[in-house]
Amino acid sequence: MPRVQLTSLHDTQLFAQGLALGLRGGDVIAFSGPIGSGKTTLIRSLTTALTGDDVASSPSFLLWQRYEGRIPVNHLDLYRIENQADLPELGLHEAFDSSSVTLVEWPEQAPTLLPAHTVYLKLQGAGDEPRHLELGYSLHEHSDHPGA
């Protein structure tokens, strides 16, 4: 699998700016990877690039965060989903609309929620290490969640 090395936060920002240029409403990207591997950081950099607003200080505990802007973004963080049977009442499927880009953290927690055209990426690395982004990751081969 191709891998991109993100040596610093600045690298993550530059990568996000480049990736954002290729995204349009309706696109869905899922970010796998262990705790602290930089999923939220990359998603926020992408969101800033897509919306045109700096979202660095937005809350991080929400299941669904919506950002308006040039291209609207939905950020889903599925870490706390314990039971897939809860999904319909949570209404998260409404995040996947054709005018927004939807960025999903911890997709393994609700694989049935994600549309077929989702692009899967996986981050690795922690602490002061460089991060590595694996492209073309398949959700069906691995799972990193401690409870899985």
Ligand X SMILES: Nc1ncnc2c1ncn2[C@@H]1O[C@H](COP(=O)(O)OP(=O)(O)OP(=O)(O)O)[C@@H](O)[C@H]1O
39 vs 131, beta carbon nearer Mg ion: 39
Among 16, 19, 30, 33, binds ligand X (CB under 6 A): 33
Contact between 58 and Mg ion (CB under 5 A)?
Answer: no
| Stretch of 28-36, 63-71, 92-100, 137-145 lying at the interface with ligand X (CB under 6 A) | 28-36
Q: How far is the CB of 6 from ligand X (least distance, A)?
A: 4
- Which residues in the chain belong to E strands, given as ranges? 3-6, 28-32, 64-67, 73-77, 101-105, 119-124, 131-135
Verify binding: residue 12, ligand X, rule CB under 6 A. Answer: yes
CA-based nearest residue to 23, from 47, 58, 53: 47
Residue of this chain nearest to ligand X (CB atom): 38
Distance CA 118, CA 93 (A): 13
Q: Which of 127, 100, 129 is nearest to 115 (CA)?
A: 100
Does position 40 interact with Mg ion (CB under 5 A)? The reply is: yes
